[in-house]
């Protein structure tokens, strides 16, 4: 392997350990919940999920789980709603 490719691979390994270098603009995933799978999408900071809870509240366990997974790579992380105790 040539030295140019070796240095690129080393750089890729370092980049891969710094997820904050990456900011998702948009993506869509299939989220396997406990009971069913849901299409979840993200576009410029706006979440969409096809589950019933999201339709009523605009946030759900699926979008919150993805925020936790991808937090360093999302430009606008929405705060979790305050839970009244
Ligand atoms: Zn959902």
Q: How far is the CA of 20 from the centre of ligand 1 (A)?
A: 25
Average pLDDT over residues 64-80: 82
Interval between CA 83 and ligand 1 midpoint (Å): 18
pLDDT of amino acid 81: 66
Distances (CA, A) of 41 to 10, 13, 57, 59, 83: 32, 28, 16, 12, 25
Calculate how far, in angstroms, residue 60's C-alpha sits from the geometric centre of ligand 1. 5
In eight-state DSSP terms, residue 33 is -
Average pLDDT over residues 68-85: 74
10-50 pLDDT per residue, tens:
999 999 999 999 999 999 999 999 999 999 999 999 999 99
How do residues 47-66 score in pLDDT, each as one tens digit?
Answer: 999 999 999 999 999 999 99
Residue ranges with strand state E in 33-70: 37-43, 46-49
- Ligand 1 center to residue 1 CA distance, Å? 46
Sheet holding 37-43, edge to edge: 26-32, 37-43, 46-49
């Amino acid at each position: 392997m040539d030295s140019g490719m070796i240095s690129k691979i080393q750089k890729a390994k370092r980049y891969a350990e710094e997820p904050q270098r990456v900011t998702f603009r948009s993506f869509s995933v299939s989220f396997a919940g406990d009971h069913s799978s849901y299409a979840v999408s993200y576009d410029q900071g706006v979440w969409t999920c096809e589950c019933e809870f999201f339709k009523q509240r605009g946030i759900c366990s699926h979008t919150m789980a993805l925020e936790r997974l991808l937090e360093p790579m999302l430009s606008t992380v929405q705060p979790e709603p305050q839970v009244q105790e």
